[in-house]
Structure 1
Amino acid sequence: MKRLLACTLLTLAVVGYAKADQSTFEETNSCSEDIDCQGDFICKNGQCDSPQLQRSPVAKTTAKTQAAPPAPPGVAYQPLPVNTERAGPFTTQTEAMATALNYQSRAGVMNVMESVVEQAEYTGYVTIEKAYTFGPSKYVLVVSTGEGGNACPASTYVFSFDTQAERVDGKREVEGCSELVEAMAEGNKLMVKKEGAATVVYNGMVE
């Protein structure tokens, strides 16, 4: 009888302790804001709870193809006849260690190669590969030069010339060392290529 009474009292004590512990946990776990919680826990619905990692949606990268600029109405590239010494208003002139590419400006004859290469006095040869007009005042020329023997074997440049401003307003070196130069014009797009990547010029302006 005493043993049964002792077991009953022990059971009641354990149950009472568990309820008290649960009550204490609920009291210490209650909160009104995040600062009431320990560590990284946050206050949610009056109780401290572990923060849930929110997965940010994966940004979908979409490759955007850059659209070609629109052509001015009724304007397109027109090829010019090219020979060893002339293309339109541009003429070559052999000098001591260079070849000039001359244009007759209002102020006099100007060597446009001075605006295309760093050392125009050491170009060696200069060959006009292709020449185009774009509208009434724009020219685009493709020229190759030996650059005093430093080329491999030929450096090729494409540049645009504005006859109103009488200056080279854009230039770029065409990738590759080959002496073979290909050019294709369609509408407002001109593509110049050797064995490297193609150089594309829109609307008579090299950028």
Structure 2
Amino acid sequence: MAGVARFVASSLAPAAQRFAPQAAAGVLRQVLEIAIDGYQRFPGAEQVAESKLARSSGDVQLAIDAVTDQHIRLAGVQGFVTSIGGLVTLPVALPANLTGLAIVQVRMVAAIAHLRGYDLDDPRVRTAVITCLLGEDGVADRLKKSSLPTSPLAIATAPVFDPDLDRQVAGEVVAELIARISGKRMAITVTRRVPLLGGAVGAGVDGWSTYRIGEYADKSLVRRIRRPIEP
């Protein structure tokens, strides 16, 4: 996990530090592709999903619960490691945590989508997957403000892929992730004088946000009949 995060973090750093979500959107897509497709010894979402399904004797809901639990733990671990000693309060640590959290959460949502019968090679589904990273409140807020036109389910089952919407969603997700990391930095700064407490706060925040996103994806990505992309 750390190796994959470092692989992309160096590219994400300049855009993240300028708080320019649109500039970082292209790099976020690379992060998401690694999470979905896998990278070297880092298994992709489909492989993780099938492994959990086999261990759950074919019970899809049990497999989804297992996927979510696994990624909550992963999010907590990567959050703890990048937050110890106040490292997340330094500008250089922000991209590493941002990247690691995105990889964990996207792979979780993509695995849930696969278990529900969605085709992860479909660009509509990939856009829906990253939309889920906004969480239920984030999506609802953007729908209300019209900065997001529709729900993850509607995006995944749209008649055609919309590249403009894909770029818009990517920008919104990067902005949301940066906002979350910035909020966590403030919490850790308050606790920096207590040994290891900063790491515990980081782990708790990342684990909780991952739980909420997994819960939202589970509720949103209901099982649907796949529809082919129109030419």
Give the TM interval when normalised to the shorter protein. Answer: under 0.3
Compute the TM-score of the two structures, normalised by the length of structure 2: 0.22
Compute the TM-score of the two structures, normalised by the length of structure 1: 0.24
Structure with the bigger RCO (C-alpha within 8 Å, sep 6+) is 2
Q: Answer 1 or 2: which has greater strand percent.
A: 1
Q: Answer 1 or 2: which has greater helix percent.
A: 2
Larger Rg: 1
